Amino acid sequence: MSTSSDTPAVTPPAVKLEGITKRFPGVVANHDIRIVIEAGSVHAIVGENGAGKSTLMKILYGMQRPDEGKIYVNGEEVTFRTPGDAIAAGIGMVHQHFMLADNLTVLENIILGAEPAKAGVLDVKGARKRIVQLAGDHGLRVDPDRMVEELGVGDRQRVEILKVLYRGARVLILDEPTAVLVPQEVEELFANLRELKADGFTVIFISHKLDEVLSIADAITVIRRGTTVASVDPASTTARQLAELMVGSELPTPETRDSTVTDRVVLDVCDATLQGTGAKPLLSDVSFTVHAGEVLGIAGVEGNGQSELIEAIMGLRTLDGGRILLAEEDITAWSTLRRRESGIGYIPEDRHRQGLLLEASLWENRVLGHQTRKPARKGIWVNRAASRKDTERIVHEYDVRTPSIDTLALALSGGNQQKLIVGREMSGDPKFLIAAHPTRGVDVGAQAAIWDHLRAARAGGLAVLLISADLDELIGLSDTLHVIYGGRMVARLDPGQVTPEQLGGYMTGAIAEEKA
């Protein structure tokens, strides 16, 4: 099954990329990428979001074909047309967003697409034996008969890894594997990876979290603006040096320390409850207040009720119990439009889904959400001139890199799309802003700019509800930090004191509930 060679003299590198170039419109393309990945090592590829890591991995996994360059696996040149070719060559990919079917068992998920058959009949017994053996050999503990929907994030990731191993991969690509994990789970993952390495597997680890990279990798390649800029030895490199290689300039930090919190309550959520269709309520008795000039951060593993909470505040979901007050007015029964008109800004967690009309121009996107307010409206008409002018202002003030305001939103990079959204939501003097993952998938430059804007708005008296998976961002920006777990607020912490590990403990429910 495996293609790894046992040549004693010189082991050819597991993967070698030579001069990979991919011309790809819109985002940063790959340009002359050169990487040598030794067999039996953990090789990290780091670079900021949008540097071209994902494109490179898609090329290596056969999802896209390079315009130029060569790929060698175990010393042999290969051409991948489909992921199937890559799998056949022993390359497997663990995606950032898990691709598992919730309503199937672990075993069913693992064999899905590679079902073993004995005389045309599904060979479950043989499959189970192999999975148990694979899991035992590599220390990946999972129960093959559990439903995937019951599994936590860490377990799901192990299932993904097993799935790749089951297909006979000797080279594993892990795309931002720690993005969804809390610190404790990251440790577990690393233990698994070390074990895989010891068993002779090669791991390609893509990340932009430098401390993690330094602790796990045997070799590091830095990508910037679509090309490889350095190969470094983790033993003799600091996170700071690595970061500077990645960014090519000085680093931003999310710190805000001078408190601007006032005692004027802007948003008051009382006992918000949302039943949902499952047995467990999506939100139960969630209460908190956000003051003018305050950033209230909510930490939590994704899927613990954050999205539902945001949608309830925006009026996209109707609460089954509790109230929401905006500046002392009960808005529980208000429409989304009325909430927006009375000063709620919304940076959605998924900008492509809720924040933009990708196939419309930037100025039309400026109108979105403001279609009933000045400057976008004039009676029954859309005020095109004023909207365009105000879009010019946003493009200028928020440094949105675009050829023009008539460009379609889809042509912009993620960071520039997000800056446009931030600029739009900040216009019209909002009282309260929901910022859900405001810098997710955004490059470092845009991240710093967005943080600056949030800070400036906070100083100007804006109340901000910040939801983020980036713990540094949460700790750095928040004045008050709440933890949500299983639809409940389980802790209220001081961001000045808390460590990411403590936060992780609350987020996974490892540290028992403390009265908020």
Partner 1 sequence: MMPARLQRTLLTVAGAVVAVLLAMGISSIAILAAGASPVTALGAMFDFGDTQPEVVNALTFILNRAVPLFIAGLAVAIGFRMNLFNIGVEGQYRIAAIVAAFVGSQFVLPGPIQITLIIVVAMLVGGLYAFIPAVLKVTRGVNEVISTIMLNYIAVNLAAFLVRGPFAGERTAGKLTTSTPELPESAWFPNLNVLFEMFGLPAPRSGLWGFLMVAILLGVIIWLVLERTRFGFEVKASGLNPPAALASGVDAKRMVISAMVLSGAIAGLIGLPEILGRTHAYGSNFTAGLGFLGIAVALLGRNKPAGIAVAALLFGFLDRASAPLQFADIPPSVVAIIQGSIVLMVVIANEVTSRMSIRQEERRAARQLGTTQRAEVAA
Which one of the spans 115-123, 216-224, 401-409, 508-516 is the region binding partner 1 (CB under 8 A)? Answer: 401-409
Smallest gap, in angstroms, from Cβ of residue 510 to partner 1? Answer: 34
- For residue 259, with 0-12 CB atoms within 10 Å meaning exposed, 13-18 middle and 19 or more buried, which class applies? exposed
Selected from 402, 417, 468, 480, the binder of partner 1 by CB under 8 A is 402
Selected from 1, 121, 380, 512, the binder of partner 1 by CB under 8 A is 380
Say how far apart CA 464 and CA 433 lie, in whole Å. Answer: 5
Helix axes 124-138, 183-198, angle to 10 degrees: 100
By CB under 8 A, residue 224 contacts partner 1 = no
By CB under 8 A, residue 411 contacts partner 1 = yes
Helical ranges in 270-367 per DSSP H:
306-314, 336-341, 362-367
How many residues at the interface with partner 1, by CB under 8 A? 43
Measured torsion, CA atoms of residues 343, 347, 352, 356, in degrees rounded to the nearest 10: 30
Q: What is the number of other CB atoms lying within 10 angstroms of the CB of residue 255? A: 11
The closest alpha carbon to 155, from 211, 105, 91, belongs to: 105
Which one of the spans 259-267, 324-332, 396-404, 494-502 is the region binding partner 1 (CB under 8 A)? Answer: 396-404
Q: Which of residues 320-339 bind partner 1 (CB under 8 A)?
A: 335-339
Task: Give strand pairing partners of 204.
Answer: 43, 173
Say how far apart CA 427 and CA 421 lie, in whole Å. Answer: 10
By CB under 8 A, residue 386 contacts partner 1 = no
Selected from 261, 368, 386, 516, the binder of partner 1 by CB under 8 A is 368
Letters for 1-40 (x = contact with partner 1 by CB under 8 A, - = none) are: ------------------------xxx-------------
Contact 201, 170 (CB under 8 A): yes
Selected from 85, 123, 285, 341, the binder of partner 1 by CB under 8 A is 341
By CB under 8 A, residue 238 contacts partner 1 = no
Helix (H, G, I), strand (E, B) or coil at 277: coil
By CB under 8 A, residue 358 contacts partner 1 = yes
Q: What is the DSSP string of 2-15?
A: ------SS-PPPSE
- For residue 312, with 0-12 CB atoms within 10 Å meaning exposed, 13-18 middle and 19 or more buried, which class applies? buried
Q: 97 or 353, CB closer to partner 1?
A: 353
Q: 337 or 510, CB closer to partner 1?
A: 337
Smallest gap, in angstroms, from Cβ of residue 344 to partner 1? Answer: 10
By CB under 8 A, residue 400 contacts partner 1 = no
Please give the residue ranges that form the binding site for partner 1 (CB under 8 A).
25-27, 314, 316, 335-341, 346, 348, 353-360, 364, 367-369, 371-372, 377, 380-382, 384, 401-404, 406-408, 410-412
